[in-house]
Structure 1
Amino acid sequence: MIPLDEFCAEAEAFLAGSGLARRTDEEKVVWGEGELDVSVFHDLGFAEESALIEELKDWQRRKFQAGFGAITWEPEYGGRGLAAEYLDAYDELELRYRTPRPHETFSVTQHLIAPTVRLFGTDAMRADLVPAFLRGEQICCQLFSEPSAGSDLAALGTRAVREDDAWVVNGQKVWSSGAQFADWGELICRTDPTLPKHAGMTAFMIPMDWPGVEVRPLRQMSGGTSFNEVFLTDVRLPDEYRIGEVGQGWEVALTTLGFERQAANNNAHVGGNWRQLLAAAQWAGVLDDPFVRQDLARAMVSERLGAVAVARDQAARESGRPMGAIGSVRMMQWVGRMLDVTAAARRILGPRLVVDDGEWGTYVWGQHVLGAPGYRIAGGSDEIQRTIIAERWLGMPPEPRADKDTPWKDLPR
């Protein structure tokens, strides 16, 4: 294995020759200069978002070819098979450069769905899909939630019926981030309605351009169309696209959701931060307000504690310790940080949040305030996260579930 210092020197040489601009003093916010982006979800037109995705695909391809796109993955997938500390070291170096703006489909593809396919996919699926995902050639979305099955994901009703060597799928999914740009979707379906809801599901990978798949973007109150609803009408999926065994869909879904919670701290730079708030407070002339100062202090402390959490999780990965329920703790901490920023922005800016008078750095904060609550349900609602923490970490008795042994077909809907 290459020594860490040699690896870092190699990474620094790659980044220095990448053509990316180095970050200067990114912590310093000068009021009225540059573009202030504090959005939680994208607010881009279709052409702009498509261009961003192509830019990210190109960057991921370049990283992969240079040996930095799949650092901890096995060589059979094009990775280097290095320990987690190498990935952490590279990420720290990359932060010094102005890489393309992140997009949720890349996190979903490489941190959630690629490792799920590695665990549950067929040999052919792992060989064909995982390298394409890691190279950034193809991107994915999750097809989990439904209009009547959000936090209670196990209640989903999209049906997949076996016909010879294929499955015929009918149903609707919703809140699928990036589905309008995705090449593949990870799909959870009901395959046996006579079993209890957790037992009768099966997982598939589905091409998003397959006949019978229709994607409709949803306009969010923050302005963007990150989320989508997906309609599936008589979609015929070959059995070779199945992930895991028939009836193993709940385990596959939980695995993907577990990866999502573990990746929560990777989103630490989403939305606004306390230094941007400080610049707004200085401009607004409210720094003498004791309540504003408390809000700023709370936002700063939350941000610093988030950095401590990242360091702890890095140490855990490097020592081989699984995160387990701590992923739910991190999810709630991250959401808490965004809500602390929201509270401070509302107090500092007041009516300027809802009045677009052209002033730099004011109305734009609405992108954060309107977007932050969305992550209270992403990857499982706050209530779901608390239940996971209580049962799996604190060892508390599980909450009563009256429908645990009831066949799905007999559940009221």
Structure 2
Amino acid sequence: MNFEDTPQEAAFRAEVRAWIDANAPKHLEPALKKAGFGHVDLEGIDVMQAAKDWQAKKADAGWACLHWPKEYGGRGATPIERVIWQQEEGVYSTLGGTFIIGQGMCGPTMMAYATEEQKRRYLPPLARGEEVWCQLFSEPAGGSDLAGLRTRAERDGDDWVINGQKIWTSGAHYSDYGILVTRSDPNVPKHQGLTFFFLSMKTPGVTIKPIKQVNGQSGFNEVFFDNVRIPDSQRLGKVGEGWKVSLTTLMNERLAIGGTMPTGFPEMFELARELELEDGPAIRDKAVRNNLADWHVKTNGLKYTAARMISALSRGETPGPEASIGKLVAGALMQDIATYAIDLQDHAGALVDPKLAAANARFQAMLLRSPATRIEGGTDEILRNIIAERVLGLPADMRADKDLPFNKIPTGRG
């Protein structure tokens, strides 16, 4: 690994730093620094509009979706230049959370499978933040088995008629478009009978119902499809090859999520410095220091694992499974840190009001959101299987349903 910028990378970093210093919405910086995990409160300012304004400003100057081709709204930058931008954008990247699914997962899928006309229509507004996209994958009966989905797609002339339900769809309630994987043939093994589409979320027959979460937010949604008609021109990939298209989305999902997940360690270290226990500052307590040392080691392990990916990008190589490792470790670490931080606050750990709780109640927000973090983008179990099979070369799990037609797989229904 090489942690030093090349002369070209250093020059690019200086250019990025200068532009951000001159153009960033600095009046939002204090609120962004205090933002709870998974929730941004800009104190009376419309968060969505602030996010779109920042994204549009970046796009106007050529800083949006840097690695995308220029004709699709990007800059044609190298992967390492994209990493440099992410490092320098800092706290302002919080505003980009609205677009991470569209730009990090849907966009690359459209780029790989959409027609040229569709790319020029949909990708530039996505890069500018004018249109928001979501990912319609998970289903109530599927669990972690994406290929076990039951949403049906039936051909009717030049259209497809969609019926079924998706769940845990992040941002569906404010999205303009979505990518959708369906089952078009139940008579073949489950991975072979899928077909992939994109659609407007305003299409007749689409119903979106936000899910009330334990943290009081409703970022996830149920999405119902009742005889929704999608033209065949909005199919991505060949009929029956939806799993292949889905893998493109999932690989980009690992990269988009895994390399940027917070752990809560910097916030925990700051809390330990400020919090007073019965016998003095928390930072002086041996148990606290032991935990801090352990988390420091793990956090640096994540840092250097990510550095391997960055080094590979700098050499023009394709990163390996580092993103899966990063998400697996960071998700559990964040939950452990949040739990300990709340315990350390004793009864005050029950406070959820940012104005009353220590550290603006960020650890409370972090703990309530952490179970979802360990599920979305690939559960811990799925990631362990990926690492075991693709990194360590261990035998794959036995799958009794692998070669069975989907409609012959036994279910729990009586």
Per the normalisation by structure 2, the TM-score is 0.88
How many residues end up aligned between the 2 structures? 400
Give yes or no for contact 1:217–1:228 (8 Å, CA) kept in 2.
yes
| Equivalent residue, structure 1, for 2:57 | 62
1:242 aligns with 2:240: no
Question: Is the 1:298–1:340 Cα contact (8 Å) retained in structure 2?
Answer: no
1:337 equivalent in alignment to 2:333: yes
Residue from 343, 356, 359 that aligns with 1:359: 356
2:85 is the alignment partner of 1:93: no
Conservation of the 8 A alpha-carbon contact between 2:263 and 2:333 = no
1:321 match: 317
Q: Which residue of 2 aligns with 1:162?
A: 155
Q: How many percent of aligned residue pairs carry the same amino acid?
A: 36
- 8 Å contact 1:43–1:225 — kept in the other structure? no
- Tell me, yes or no, if structure 1 residue 290 matches structure 2 residue 286: yes
TM-score (norm 1): 0.88
Structure 1 residue 187: Cα displacement: 0.6
Asked whether the 8 Å contact 1:72–1:81 carries over to 2, the reply is yes
Report which stretch shifted further, 9-18 or 35-44: 35-44
CA distance in structure 1 between the aligned counterparts of 2:123 and 2:337, rounded to whole angstroms = 37
Give the number of the structure with larger relative contact order, counting CA–CA contacts within 8 Å between residues 6 or more apart: 1
Structure 2 CA distance for aligned equivalents of residues 11 and 173 of structure 1? 40
- Does the aligned pair in 1 maintain the 2:106–2:133 contact within 8 Å? yes
The answer to whether the 8 Å contact 2:309/2:320 transfers is no
Match of 2:186 in 1: 193
Which moved further from structure 2: 171-180 or 367-376?
Answer: 367-376
What is residue 4 of structure 2 aligned with on the other side?
none
Structure 1 residues without counterparts, runs of 5 or longer: 27-33
Q: Which residue of 1 aligns with 2:378?
A: 380
Alignment partner of 1:101: what SS? helix
**Shift in alpha-carbon separation, 1:126–1:240, aligned structure 2, 3 A:** same
**Aligned partners of 2:139 and 2:165 also within 8 Å:** yes
Q: 1:20 and 2:25 equivalent?
A: yes
Change (3 A) 1:9 1:327: closer
Question: In the alignment, which residue of structure 1 is the partner of 2:100?
Answer: 107
* CA distance, structure 2, for counterparts of residue 270 and residue 241 of structure 1: 39
Answer with 124-133 or 163-172: which moved more: 124-133
Q: How does 1:10-409 map to 2 (within 5 A)?
A: 10-18=15-23, 20-21=25-26, 37=34, 39-42=36-39, 51-95=46-90, 99=92, 101-102=94-95, 104-269=97-262, 273-279=267-273, 281-282=275-276, 285-355=281-351, 359-361=356-358, 363-409=361-407
Structure 1 residues 128-137 or 340-349, which shifts more? 340-349
- Preserved contact between residue 261 and residue 330 of structure 1 (Cα < 8 Å): no
Aligned equivalents of 1:40 and 1:360: distance in 2?
Answer: 14
The whole-number CA distance in structure 1 between the counterparts of 2:13 and 2:288 is: 42
Tell me by how many angstroms 1:269 deviates: 3.9
Distance verdict in 2 for CA 1:89–1:103, change over 3 Å: closer
| Distance (whole Å) between structure 2 residues aligned to residue 35 and residue 123 of structure 1 | 38
The CA distance in 1 between the partners of 2:134 and 2:320, in whole Å, is 23
Unpaired runs of at least 5, structure 2 = 1-6
* Helix, strand or coil at the partner of 1:99: helix
